[in-house]
Amino acid sequence: MTIQIKYRDLEKTITGSPEQVWQLLNKFFADFLPSFAIAEKLTLEVNLQNLARDCQGLIAFGPEGPCVLVARSKMTDNETLTLLLLANYLGQKLGKTSVIEMSKEELQAKLGKAAKITSTRLGELVKSEMAMKTSDEKYKITTFGLVQMQREILPRIRTKTGI
């Protein structure tokens, strides 16, 4: 008897008599199941449906692409930039935009600030791991950034704006 187990990147083949396979299978699950449970708890994952729900009233999608609905004066530059990157990410995942990344120039235009300020703020976001610079010199929100937006920044923006 042969049993093959595959879970994400882990593969295990167990061969033997039915009794041996049963014992080795039980041992496998006893040894590795706690590791799977721990790994699941340590994995950053974003639920797209919850994220979209959490962004209602803060962003929207028009024919021109994602839009931030919150007045810039109510948010910090970093909050605005991360919300723009989040909107672009969500737009791509929902089929509303074609790419996740945004250029520094696109972000500067939407932020409405000087190039130096935009560069400085983007550098801060990269340093704090909220955003990352891609190989083609564009920016996108990280998974950590998505989780932080959902846990802390979106609620803070809602509180400040009353949305």
Domain layout of the chain by residue ranges? 2-42, 48-161
d(CA 146, CA 130): 8
Q: In angstroms, how far is CA 35 from the centroid of its own chain? A: 24
Tokens representing residue 130 in the block: 């909220």
Cβ atoms 86, 149 nearer than 8 A: yes
pLDDT at 88: 94
- Of 47, 48, 72, 68, nearest in space to 57 by CA: 68
CATH of segment(s) 48-161: 1.10.10.10
pLDDT along the chain (163 residues), means of 10: 82 86 81 68 80 93 90 93 95 90 94 94 96 94 94 92 84
d(CA 44, CA 149): 13
pLDDT digits (tens, 9 = 90+) for 13-53: 889 888 888 888 888 877 776 666 666 676 767 888 999 99
Cβ atoms 108, 118 nearer than 8 A: yes
pLDDT at 58: 94
